[in-house]
């Protein structure tokens, strides 16, 4: 049984390692552990969902700590810590990282909680039954990089759709893989060990890829503000070819492709055509399947999907119910939609929606904010700040 299933049953001790597949649980059914088919349209829909989630966050503040910067740093860190652990045919981009390792501290919280209620886990929900987490994390990072480059005034558009290949299988457990990651306080020997020896990159590719990944986490570092440096070029250099003739963008794309495909020789496939004209594509539009799990939208959909489907299809709209009307007979007289609405607004009817004894071993990641609030107040479980008795 998968670790996520054990968590739900309360059989996995909290002290044991937790992996991304435990956090990126599919709300609408069984997740796909391997992508069997993907078209260029599906790739576009995923990048659009990620970019739209990211775009919904405020960009105000400093370049380093705006909500968008913190969200993108989390997404890039999750993907890079996934593929940087490849060694001797093991690990690589398999959707897995040992989140108990010190180098991965904070990852589980940032991908699940996100920023201002918008998370990478939410963005994955519309695709989790067809697309493996291993493929999704790579696509999500490519979406962030494409969106970031669009902000460089005068820069040519960056695309990964022509180079992306699907077919990575999600690993459900990968203990001790954090030991394979580069030491953030290390030196050139560590870059050589991970990027050159483990991933098979050459010196230029390693320098550009390592520089860009580091600058997502530390955009105000001196290296990252210089358009001619390997780290800063991605964020500030307009042309793909520098004055010295170095086609840095082509080198970067090659490095990214190598790093995210290593260990998957013969397993990956190019995107299938979906016969959609290029001019019809509009980057940044959110796309959800509003018919999927429609009967369970109150509790099964993320807030961002509710808003999209309400506007586009009239599904998922929360009515403004009168929570005083019929309150004495709410158990039998109220619809599920009204119970959900009034639970959020007045805390009436919550007891009919949530079983506070279910999923307690994984409440931090598996419970919604509303369930945490109700169960914390009613039985003292699910409190973000534990109650003092």
Tens-place pLDDT, residues 233-271: 888 888 888 877 788 889 999 999 999 999 888 899 999
Residue 355, domain member (yes or no): no
Within a domain: 374: no
Position 189 scores a pLDDT of: 59
Q: Find the domain containing 310 and state its range.
A: 291-317
Start-to-end CA distance of the chain, whole Å, equals 37
Banded model confidence at residue 9, pLDDT cuts 50, 70, 90: very low
Q: Is residue 88 part of a domain?
A: yes
Predicted local distance difference test score (pLDDT) of residue 305: 67
Which residues, including other chains, have CB under 8 Å from residue 36's CB and lie 6 or more apart? 130
pLDDT in tens, 94-110: 999 888 777 787 787 78
Residue 87 phi/psi, 5° resolution?
-160, 130
Mark whether 236 and 296 lie in a shared domain: no
Measured torsion, CA atoms of residues 117, 119, 125, 131, in degrees rounded to the nearest 10: 170
Residues 226 and 310 in one domain: no
Q: What mean pLDDT comes out for the span 20-24?
A: 88
Q: Reduce the secondary structure of the chain to three states and give it as a string.
A: CCHHHHHHHCCCCCCCCCCHHHHCCCCCCCCCCECCCCEHHHHHHHHHHHHHHHHCCCCCCCCCCCHHHHHHHHHHHHHHHHHCCCECCECCCCCCCCCCCHHHCCHHHHHHHCECCECHHHHHHHHCCCCCHHHHHHHHHHHHHHHHHHCCCCCCCCCCCCCCEECCECCCCCCCHHHHCCCCCCCHHHHHHHHHHHCCCCHHHHHHHHHHHHHHHCCCCHHHHCCCCCCCHHHHCCCCECCCCCEHHHHHHHHHHHHHHCCCCCCCEECECCCCCHHHCCCCCCCCCCCCCHHHHHHHCCHHHHHHHHHHHCCCCCCCCCCCCCHHHHHHHCCHHHHHHHHHHHCCCHHHCCCCCCCHHHHHHHCCHHHHHHHHHHHCCCCCCCCCC
Task: Look up tokens 């997404």; give the residue.
Answer: 75
Mean pLDDT on 115-138? 89
- Confidence band for 28, pLDDT divided at 50, 70 and 90: low
Instruction: Examine the fold and report which residue of 269, 299, 317 is the final residue of a domain before the chain moves on.
Output: 317
Q: Give the pLDDT confidence score for residue 7 in this predicted structure.
A: 34
List CB contacts of 228: < 8 A, sequence separation 6 or more.
Answer: 237, 242
Are 250 and 299 in the same domain? no
- Residue 270's DSSP bridge partners are 165
pTM of the prediction? 0.70
Both tokens assigned to 93: 């981009």
Residue 169 lies in a domain: yes
Instruction: Specify if 45 maps to a domain.
Output: yes
The count of residues in the chain is 389
Average of pLDDT values for 72-83?
91
Q: Does a structural domain hold residue 89?
A: yes
pLDDT for position 8: 34
Tell me the torsion sign for CA atoms 50, 51, 52, 56: positive
Which tens digits make up the pLDDT trace of 182-233? Answer: 665 555 557 788 888 888 899 999 999 988 998 888 888 888 888 888 888 8
Count of domains for the chain: 2
Same domain, 195 and 309: no
What percent of the chain has a predicted confidence (pLDDT) above 90? 20
What is the distance, to the nearest Å, from the Cα of residue 295 to the centroid of all Cα atoms in its chain? 25
Token pair for residue 249? 């963008």
Task: For residues 326 and 239, give the distance between their C-alpha atoms in angstroms, rounded to a whole number.
Answer: 65
Please indicate, yes or no, whether residues 196 and 221 belong to a single structural domain of this protein.
Answer: yes
Does the pLDDT at position 168 exceed 50?
Answer: yes
Closest CA to 166 of 200, 142, 124, 136: 136
Q: Verify that 313 and 166 share a domain, yes or no.
A: no
Tokens of 254: 């090659």
Residue 272 has pLDDT above 50, yes or no: yes
- Most confident range, picked from 137-146, 169-178, 185-194, 228-237: 137-146
> Lowest-confidence range among 57-66, 131-140, 180-189, 193-202?
180-189
Are 235 and 309 in a shared domain? Answer: no
Does 389 reside within a domain?
Answer: no
Give domain status of residue 370, yes or no: no
Is residue 86 located within the same domain as residue 184?
Answer: yes
The answer on 20 and 155 residing in a single domain is: yes
Report the pLDDT averaged over residues 49-71: 79
User: Which of the two residues, 58 and 30, has the higher pLDDT score?
Assistant: 30
Instruction: Reply yes or no on whether the pLDDT at 64 is more than 70.
Output: no
Domain termination residue (choose one: 227, 256, 280): 280
Question: Residue 89 corresponds to which tokens in the numbers above?
Answer: 């045919």
Residues 209 and 312 in one domain: no
Per the DSSP assignment, residues forming a β-bridge with 241 are 247
- Token digits for 241? 């070819």
pLDDT at 291: 65
pLDDT band at 17 (very low <50, low <70, confident <90, very high): very low
**242 and 156 in one domain?**
yes
Q: What is the pLDDT of residues 303-358, one digit of tens each?
A: 666 766 766 666 677 677 888 888 888 888 887 667 877 887 888 888 877 778 87
Do residue 309 and residue 271 come from a single domain?
Answer: no
């Amino acid at each position: 049984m998968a670790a996520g299933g054990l968590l739900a049953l309360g059989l996995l001790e909290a002290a044991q390692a937790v992996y991304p597949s435990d956090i990126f649980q599919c709300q609408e059914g069984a997740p796909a552990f391997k992508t069997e088919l993907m078209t260029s349209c599906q790739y576009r829909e995923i990048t659009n969902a990620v970019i739209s989630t990211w775009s919904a966050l405020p960009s105000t503040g400093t370049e380093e700590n705006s909500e968008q910067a913190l969200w993108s740093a989390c997404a890039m860190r999750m993907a890079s810590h996934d593929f940087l652990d490849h060694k001797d045919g093991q690990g690589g981009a398999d959707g897995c990282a040992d989140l108990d390792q010190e180098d991965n501290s904070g990852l589980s919280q940032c991908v699940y909680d996100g920023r201002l209620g918008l998370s990478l886990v939410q963005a994955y929900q519309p695709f989790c039954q067809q697309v493996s987490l291993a493929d999704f994390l790579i696509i999500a990072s490519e979406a962030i990089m494409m969106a970031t480059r669009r902000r460089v005034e005068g820069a040519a558009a960056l695309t990964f759709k022509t180079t992306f290949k699907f077919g990575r299988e999600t690993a459900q457990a990968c203990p001790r893989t954090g030991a394979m990651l580069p030491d953030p306080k290390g030196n050139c020997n560590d870059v050589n060990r991970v990027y050159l020896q483990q991933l098979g990159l050459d010196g230029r590719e390693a320098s550009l890829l390592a520089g860009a990944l580091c600058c997502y986490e530390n955009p105000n570092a001196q290296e990252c503000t210089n358009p001619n440096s390997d780290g800063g070029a991605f964020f500030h250099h307009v042309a793909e070819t520098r004055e010295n003739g170095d086609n840095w963008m082509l080198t970067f794309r090659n490095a990214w492709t190598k790093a995210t495909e290593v260990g998957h020789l013969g397993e990956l496939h190019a995107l299938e055509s979906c016969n959609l004209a290029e001019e019809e594509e509009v980057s940044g539009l959110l796309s959800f399947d509003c018919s999927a799990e429609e009967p369970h939208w109150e509790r099964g959909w993320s807030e961002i999907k509710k808003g999209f489907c309400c506007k586009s299809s009239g599904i998922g709209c929360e009515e403004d119910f009168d929570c005083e009307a019929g309150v004495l007979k709410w158990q039998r007289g109220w619809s599920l939609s009204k119970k959900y609405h009034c639970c959020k607004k007045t805390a009436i009817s919550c007891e009919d929606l949530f079983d506070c004894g279910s999923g307690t071993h994984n409440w931090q990641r598996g419970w919604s904010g509303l369930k945490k609030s109700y169960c914390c107040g009613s039985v003292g479980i699910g409190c973000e700040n534990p109650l003092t008795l």
